[in-house]
Structure 1
Amino acid sequence: MSKIIYTLTDEAPRLATYSFLPVVAAYAAKAGVDVETRDISLAARILSQFPDRLTAEQFEADALAELGTLADTPEANIIKLPNISASVPQLKAAIAELRSQGFDLPDYPDEPSTDDEKETRARYDKVKGSAVNPVLRQGNSDRRAPASVKQYVRNHPHRMGAWSSDSKTNVATMGVDDFRSNETSTIVPDAGAVSIQFTAADGTVTVLRDAVAVRAGEVIDATVLHVKPLRDFFVAQIDRAAAEGVLFSVHLKATMMKVSDPIIFGHAIRAYFSDAFEKYGADLAAAGLNPNDGLGALLAGLDSLPNGAEITAAFQERLDNGPDIAMVDSDKGITNLHVPSDVIVDASMPAMIRSSGHMWGKDGAEHDTLAVIPDSSYAGIYQTVLDDCRVNGAFDPKTLGSVPNVGLMAMAAEEYGSHDKTFEAPAAGTIRVLDASGATLLEHEVEAGDIWRMCQTKDAAIRDWVGLAVTRARASGAPAVFWLDPTRAHDAVLTDLVHGYLAELDTDGLQIEIKSPVDAMLFSLERIRRSEDTISVTGNVLRDYLTDLFPIMELGTSAKMLSIVPLLFGGGLFETGAGGSAPKHVSQLVKEDYLRWDSLGEFLALAASFEHLATSTDNARAQILADTLDRATATFLDENKSPARSVGSIDNRGSHFYLALYWAQELAAQTVDASLAADFAALASTLASSEEKINGELISVQGSPVDIGGYYRPDDVKASAVMRPSATLNEALAAL
């Protein structure tokens, strides 16, 4: 039997799966396709790291490791839903919940000192941040807006905030002393291993990593962000925001850059509350309260301090009288600095651009904003968009072209693979990358607290990325632009490689160019305003940024993108969009039994998965499922059956019913396989005739609180009952 692996993840996508997966499994079975699940949620990943502390009944297999092995085989067919890339506060919250459910987990040690604490910290470090994506993404990314989605948006455009030519919203970035300006890069000639060593001013050598495997032709980079200039930069931007009368807002990626960005976030908090830290910093440190965890964690921990009320008052005085900070939730007093994972740059910047360049202030109103992005590697692309909107106004979804993306991400490429090679300098000295002979490949002078990192990019991943760009350019007819900065060390090396690999491929008749990110952004903006498409061919971080930025402008959300990862060994990984809004949806479900999560990304990924399965296993029925699902999705969009905005309307569960109805109707109407059509004719009839009854069953439960048994680890029985309240629909699927 052909097989699809459907991942169980977190928050709203996890809850939606309780409703949608029974539809998928029932329909797939008619094509001889077995749908299996693997739990890669944050809770499951935590539990899998502590088998020695769990009972036999509590044992959780390491499903992520299993899927990582599967991704390196031609048989891989994995549907990957959005998962939590856990910040430390999220990790601690998940641990607390699991312990309350009876799992014997140790505390997360913030500053491990004993061997046991260090070993515990190492286990937890394996699951925080972007632990999932580098394991599964053993291929490069092909993300684009499906034609049916694009047409729907043009017919039903989303709201875009108006722009003023005198908007004071801007981006602030360091430009010097940051990761971009200090980057060095080289190509490793031979396979082997490199080590990372710190040499203190007194000559003492500490091995930070003793054996980092490298392959022949691999690109390795190293860089450092100097912390003293970073602190000065934050102070200057806080003063600038106050002087210009705009909101101060920090935009980082503490979820993916799980080592470096929480440290940077902590320095932003220290800078804003400098007086409080000067007076009470020793008290906070002694209590184990770390600003890297966010202002919210600091304030929550003050209750246990003898002078906690005094310190709280000092923080509150600054919040009341200092420069205004952008708010995540102004009603609850949650600022941009409260939680490191609340303001993720690739989601927060497009949302700000879509909202007239505004963020929310503590007064509950929108204001112009100074968006602070410390590292200058990619900050310029956002400034370019802001400047364009000031001149040309808001984007118009009715006429906007498209910017699909081919992203270099295979084999943990570039910055997102740097976590285990990122260090906070213990003192002044030098950090070096050495080859097996002891020769220095890369080195940087550092001061105490500086953030140093090394990145790797495999040659095989680069070759595949270039080939995929050419394939997409030929298939679409759109120009393909490599976003590479000739003045940045890593990009300069890649530019030479790209030229060489393009020369080996058939590019006749194709428009393929290499431009700096700012120039590429200008080029792409000019074209999309003329309703023209342009393929962005980018590195891993820019892939993340652009596949939120452009879809949010084009489609209203990045969740409506088709995201395919052709794996290097012939398998396929099919991703379902972004999960940034997932926490808010869970909160609404628990309060009102209403889930607003939109599963369109799952529909798109599933169709692509069936299509890949049809080709790889010669399964004709899988192709029929793919084709009919595409048509059903188009009908779903035309009929506007996505979740509505309020209780009393169809929500995520209702959207699944209508997708099941339209899909069954398409299967019953197709003429390629008469037997398959007959299988679905009765179901299509039942669902159509029961539409009013099923909707009544789905909507009547709304409006009251529900218990799903846990946020990070829901109870399967409780959550399934909540997400499958229609007995009529459940019986119809069971009959199939």
Structure 2
Amino acid sequence: MSTIVYTRTDEAPLLATYSLKPILEAFAGAAGIEVQTRDISLAGRILAQFPERLTDEQRQDDALAELGELATTPEANIIKLPNISASVPQLKAAIAELRSQGFDLPDYPESPQTDEDKDVRARYDKVKGSAVNPVLREGNSDRRAPDAVKNYARSRPHSMGAWSADSRTRVATMGERDFASNEQSVVLDQADTLTIRHVAADGTTTVLKDGLAVEAGEVVDATFMDVAALRSFLAEQVEAAAAEDILFSLHLKATMMKVSDPIIFGHAVETFFADVFERYGAQLASAGLSANDGLGGILSGLDQVEGAEEIRAAIEARLAELPRLSMVNSDKGITNLHIPSDVIVDASMPAMIRNGGKLWGPQGEEDDTVAVIPDSSYAGIYQAVIEDCKAHGAYDPTTMGSVPNVGLMAKKAEEYGSHDKTFEMTAAGTVQVVDSSGTVLMEHEVAEGDIWRACQTKDEPIRDWVKLAVTRARATGDPAVFWLDENRAHDANLIAKVTAYLKDHDTDGLDLQIMSPVDAATFSVQRIREGKNTISVTGNVLRDYNTDLFPILELGTSAKMLSVVPLMNGGGLFETGAGGSAPKHVQQLQSENYLRWDSLGEFLAIAESLRHLADREGNARAAVLGDALDKATERVLTEDRSPARRLGQIDNRGSHFYLALYWAQALAEQTEDTELAERFGPVAEELAAKEQQIAQELLDVQGKEVDLGGYYHPDEEKTFAAMRPSATFNAVIDALRE
């Protein structure tokens, strides 16, 4: 029997799974396909770390490790939904919820001292940040907007904010003494084991990491951020925003860069509230309140601090001064500096650009902003797009071209694999990367508090990345641009490899170029204004950034992207878009029983997964199912059956019903497989006949509060009941499943 593994993740995608997966099981079963589930949710990952503390009924297998092994096999066929990349506040909240449900979990140790606390912290650290993607992504990324989605966006364009030539919105970045400017990079001639060590001024040597295995041809980078320069830069931007009376906004990715970016976020909080920390910093620290957790973490813990009201008043007084902070939610007073995971650069910057360069201020007002992206590695791409919009106005979704992406991400490539090699310096000295013979490969002079990191990019993924770029360029006829800067150490090494590996392929007639990220961004936006497509071939971080930036401008959302990961050993990983896990959608369901999450990404991924099974295992019926699903998905779009945004209209569950109806009809009408047509003909007729009844049952539940029994770890029975509220529809699907 063929197998599809469907991941159980978090928040809105998890809720949608309770409704969609039974439909998938019912249809896939007709082709002899078993749909299995693996729990890689934040709660599931936490529980898997502490089996010895749980009862037999509570224990949970390490599904992520299991899927990581599966991803290296030819048999892999995994549909991966968005999951929480946990910040420390999210991790703590999930732990608290699980403890309230009777799971004997330890507290998260902020400053572990004992061996037991260090062990607990190490286990929790395995769950923090982007713990999932690096494990599953044993291949490089192919992300693009399917024709049906692009055509829909052109015929029903999303709103775009107007740009003014005199907009004061700009990107502020360091440009010196940061990760980009301090970077060193080497290519290993042979396999080896490296050591990262800190050598103090008195010669004391501390091993930061040993046993770092590297392969022949691997690219290894090292760099650091000068924290004194960072704080000076942040203070300058606070002053500049105040002088110009525009909003101050910080844009990081504390979820993926789970060691470095929370620290940078903390420096921004301390800099913006410099007077508060100067007067009360010692009291806050003694209470265990860290700026790295954001202003929200400090405010929520103030009741445990002596003089809490005085500190709270000082914070409020600072917020009343210039510059104004941009807001995540002005109605609730949630600022840009409240929670590290609230403002994610790859989503927040495109949203600002789409909105005419405007963010929201404390009174709900829209205004220009200084968008602070401290490290200059990729900040320039956003400035390039802003300059293009100032010169030419907003983009037109009805005519603009597309920027699909081929992304280097396999085997934890580049910065997103740096978590275990990132360190906050506890003393001044020199950080060195040495090989097994003791030769120093790279070294940096650092000061106390500096953030140092190393990252790796293996040769095999680079070769596969180049191959995938050539494949996509050949398939589409579009130019493919490698976004690499010859003046950056890492990129210079990649340029040499790309140039060499392109010779292994037939590139006649293909337009393949290498440009710096800023030049590539400028080139791409010029072409999209002309309605032309340009493939961006990027490293791991730019893969993430570009697959939000361009889809948000083109389609209004990144959740509608098709995301395929051809695994290097022959399997397939099918990701359901780049739309995040949508916590606000969960909150709306809980308060109004309305889920506006759009499962379009899941629909697209399922169809690709079915076609992969057909190609890999010769399951012809799976191909028929996949093609019929694509037709159903296009009808969901063209007939406006996607979730709306307000009560009284269909939500996520309604879109699933219409997908099932259209899927059954497409199968009944196709002529390739008469047995499938005969099987689904009656299903299509019954669903069509009961359409109004089912639609009404789905609408009738709206407007009421819903108890899911948990946020990070919802109750199964309660959540199934909430997400499958139509008894009529359930009866048809369950009969088909049986």
The TM-score range, normalised by the shorter chain, is over 0.9
Which position in structure 1 is the counterpart of 2:310? Answer: 310
Post-superposition Cα deviations, 1:404-456, rounded to whole Å, max 9, x if no partner, equal 00000000000000000000011000111110111111111100000000000
Same amino acid, percent of matched pairs: 68
* Alignment partner, residue 15 of structure 1: 15
**Correspondences of 1:532-611 after superposition (within 5 Å):** 532-580=532-580, 582-611=582-611
In 1, the alpha carbon distance for the partners of 2:676 and 2:356 equals 51
Post-superposition shift, 1:245?
1.3
Partner of 1:420: 420
Q: How does 1:170-569 map to 2 (within 5 A)?
A: 170-569=170-569
**Residue aligned with 1:185, SS:** strand
**Could you report, residue by residue, the CA deviation over 1:133-174 in whole angstroms, capped at 9, with x for unpaired residues?**
000000000000000100011010000001111100000000
3-state SS of 1:711 partner: coil
- What letter is aligned with 1:391? A
- Aligned equivalent of 1:653: 653
Paired with 1:61 and 1:734, the residues of 2 have a C-alpha distance of 28
Tell me if the contact between 1:83 and 1:579 (Cα under 8 Å) persists in the aligned partners.
no
Report the residue type matching 1:210 in the other structure. D
Could you say what secondary structure the match of 1:456 adopts? strand
CA displacement at 1:579 relative to structure 2? 3.7
**Separation (CA, whole Å) in 2 of partners of 1:79 and 1:519:** 35
Q: Which residue of 2 aligns with 1:726?
A: 726
Partners in 1 of 2:322 and 2:245 — Cα distance?
Answer: 12
The match for 1:613 is 613
Letter in 1 for 2:483: W
Q: Distance in 1 between matches of 2:186 and 2:339?
A: 36
State the shift of 1:363 in Å: 1.1
2-side partners of 1:203 and 1:487: how far apart? Answer: 33
Residue number in structure 2 paired with 1:624:
624
1:192: how far off?
2.3
Contact 1:13 1:579 in 2 (8 A): no
Deviating more after overlay: 508-517 vs 190-199: 190-199
Contact 2:245 2:322 in 1 (8 A): no
Distance 1:210 1:191 in 2: 15
Q: 1:123 aligns to what?
A: 123
C-alpha distance in structure 2 between counterparts of 1:121 and 1:726, whole Å: 44
In the other structure, the counterpart of 1:51 is 51
CA offset at residue 358 of structure 1?
0.4
Q: Name the structure 2 match of 1:36.
A: 36
- Residue 191 of structure 1 deviates from its aligned partner by 1.0
Give the secondary structure class of the aligned counterpart of 2:320.
Answer: helix
Q: Deviations over 1:294-321 (max 9, x none)?
A: 0000111110112111111111110112
Aligned partner of residue 13 in structure 1, secondary structure = helix
Structure 1 position 581, deviation (Å): 6.0
Structure 2, unmatched stretches of 5+, are none
Listed one character per residue, the Cα deviations across residues 54-77 of structure 1 (whole Å, up to 9, x for unaligned) are 010100100000000000000000
CA distance in 2, matches of 1:322, 1:118: 42
RMSD of aligned residue pairs (Cα, Å): 0.6
Alignment-mate amino acid for residue 551 of structure 1 = P
Q: What SS is found at the alignment partner of 1:332?
A: coil
Unmatched runs of 5 consecutive residues or more in structure 1: none
**Misfit runs of 4+, over 3 Å:** none
1:597-625: CA deviation from partner (whole Å, max 9, x where unpaired) = 00000000000000001000100000001
Q: Aligned partners of 2:734, 2:232: CA distance in 1, in Å?
A: 64
CA drift at 1:270: 0.6
Shift of 1:266: 0.2
The answer (yes or no) to whether the contact 2:384–2:521 under 8 Å persists in 1 is: yes
User: 1:346 touches 1:548 (CA, 8 Å); kept in 2?
Assistant: yes
User: How many angstroms apart in 2 are the aligned matches of 1:580 and 1:82?
Assistant: 6
Q: Distance in 2 between matches of 1:364 and 1:571?
A: 48
Conserved? CA contact 2:11–2:581, under 8 Å: no
Taking the aligned partners of 1:130 and 1:636, their CA distance within structure 2 comes to 32
In the alignment, is the contact (CA less than 8 A) between 2:561 and 2:578 conserved in 1?
no
Whether 2:139 is the aligned partner of 1:139: answer yes
Alpha-carbon distance in 2 for matches of 1:581, 1:392:
33
Residue identity opposite 1:140 in structure 2: N
Deviation at 1:244, TM superposition (A): 1.1
Cα drift, residue 178 of structure 1: 0.2
Q: How many Å separate the matches in 2 of 1:62 and 1:363?
A: 46
Deviation per CA, 1:364-413: give whole Å up to 9, x if none. 11000100000000000000011000010001000010000000000000
SS of 2:559 mapped into structure 1: helix
Q: Secondary structure at the match of 1:559?
A: coil
What is the TM-score of this pair, normalised by structure 1? 1.00
